[in-house]
Amino acid sequence: MTASPEQHPPGLDLEESVLRPVRGHHAFEACVEQLGTAIRLGVYPLGSALPAERELASRLHVSRATLREAMAALREAGLVETTRGRGGGTVVTLKPRSPSARAAARVSSAKRQDWLDALEFRRVVEPGAAALAAQLELTDVRREQLEQAHDAVAHASRPAPHRQADSRFHLTIAALSESPRLIEAVTSVQSALHEMLLAIPVLETNIAHSDRQHAAVVRAILAGRPDRARRAMEHHCDDTAALLRGLLG
């Protein structure tokens, strides 16, 4: 800790820890980020339609004018296309990208720091979500959805769709927990993870390993074994994190 520009003090400053920016950026930037994230994570896959503007705006607690600015940005960036009239709407046109190896060097120190924090946080919240999901009585429909999300990951052979399926899988588990706070936490963590994986080439062997761990998590959740689900997810997070930390420095 000698060369690093910012050195933390030996003591804690509670207020410094607690007082955080009251909100990140402008409303329309936040919309772009949230919708862009949802699209890239595969919540809205290629070819699917976004909700109508009026509904999206009310969902995001934002005026339609602001939402439209965001939509314009997404359209500009080539993520979506829009047609009007009844039956029209906005449709996803973004094809999932593959990781580009040379992007890894460009990340700033702050971003790197944030990524490492996301990995720590993930190791806490995702196992928590898995445990909670395993603890609940799941309807048949939901058990089905979980297995389906898992199958989608296992059967996706190409890297980019696999990445999206993986995100959807983890988000599905979070949604099963039924905890709004946990869902938001996992969404934010998956978004960070997605960024990281775009900057890092993924190895085939790791995908196979990862899928075995996914299967273990699904089994534990369906069997209603919270502790086992949590531990399985912890292993999965640990292994992913070790890999990423290694490739990030």
Partner DNA sequence: GAGTATTGGTCTGAGTTCATACCAATTTTA
Partner DNA sequence: TAAAATTGGTATGAACTCAGACCAATACTC
| Residue 193 binds a copy of itself, judged by CB under 8 A | no
Task: Give the ranges where 136-178 is alpha helix by DSSP (H).
Answer: 140-155, 159-177
| Residue 129 binds a copy of itself, judged by CB under 8 A | yes
Structure tokens at 55: 């509904």
User: Which of a copy of itself, DNA, none binds 84 (CB below 5-8 Å, type-dependent)?
Assistant: DNA
DSSP structure string for 19-61:
---S--S-HHHHHHHHHHHHHHTTSS-TTPBPPPHHHHHHHTT
| Residue 77 binds DNA, judged by CB under 7 A | no
| Residue 84 binds DNA, judged by CB under 7 A | yes
Residues whose CB is less than 8 angstroms from the CB of residue 62 and which lie 6 or more positions away in sequence, other chains included: 27, 28, 31
| Residue 31 binds a copy of itself, judged by CB under 8 A | yes
User: Which of a copy of itself, DNA, none binds 141 (CB below 5-8 Å, type-dependent)?
Assistant: a copy of itself
* 2/16 Cα distance (integer angstroms): 22
| Residue 9 binds DNA, judged by CB under 7 A | no
With beta carbons less than 8 A apart as the criterion, state whether 214 and 150 touch: yes
| Residue 47 binds a copy of itself, judged by CB under 8 A | no
Chain residues in the site for a copy of itself (CB under 8 A): 8, 10-12, 14-15, 17-24, 27, 30-31, 34, 38, 41, 43-44, 51, 56, 59-62, 114, 117-118, 120-121, 123-125, 128-129, 131-132, 139-142, 145, 168, 171-172, 174-185, 187-188
